[in-house]
Amino acid sequence: MDRILISDLRVRCIIGINDEERRERQDVTMNLVIFADLINAGKSDRFEDAVDYRRIKKQIVAMVEASKFHPVEALAEAVARICLENPRVSEVQVRVEKPSALRFARSVGAEIRRRRETHGGVIGY
C-alpha cells in the first residue's frame, strides 16, 4: 500500500492528567503514515486524484489546538479518526509524543494504527 508521510508536526494543546498539565498548553509532536492508493494521482498528475494532506493537516491542527485530552492515546485516536474521514485514506498510523514528559527521557508517547472498515454499508474504523 502506498503511503503519505507527515513528519514531526508540532502543535500546542492541553494534554495530561496532572493539574499543572491542565493549566497551560504543551507541545506535542505527531508523525503520521497515511495509507492510500496513490497510483491515479501519480499517473494523472492531477490534484483531484490525490489525497489532500494539507487539508488533513489543517483539520488535525484545528482539532488539537482546541482539544483538552487527558492521555496521549485519546489524542492519537482523534487524529486517526480525522484521517479516516477522507474517503481516499484506507489506513493510518499515528504517533503522538510529549517532549520532556518524563525525566531523563526525550519524550513519551503512543503509536496507534487504525483501518477503515465497512460494517453493513457504513464506513467506520
Catalytic pick among 43, 57, 58, 98: 98
**All 3 cell numbers of residue 18?**
496532572
Over the chain, what is the mean pLDDT? 92
Ordered domains of the chain (ranges, CATH)? 3-124 (3.30.1130.10)
Residue 85: in which H helix or E strand, if any? none
pTM for the model stands at 0.90
Residue 124 pLDDT grade (very low, low, confident, very high; cuts 50, 70, 90): low
Q: Is 98 a catalytic residue?
A: yes
pLDDT digit string (tens) for 52-109?
A: 999 999 999 999 999 999 999 999 999 999 999 999 999 999 999 999 788 898 999 9
Residue 105 vs residues 4, 40, 97, 102: alpha-carbon distances, Å: 28, 43, 11, 5
Residue 89: in which H helix or E strand, if any? strand 89-99
Backbone φ, ψ for residue 110 (5° rounding): -140, 150
pLDDT attached to residue 101: 84
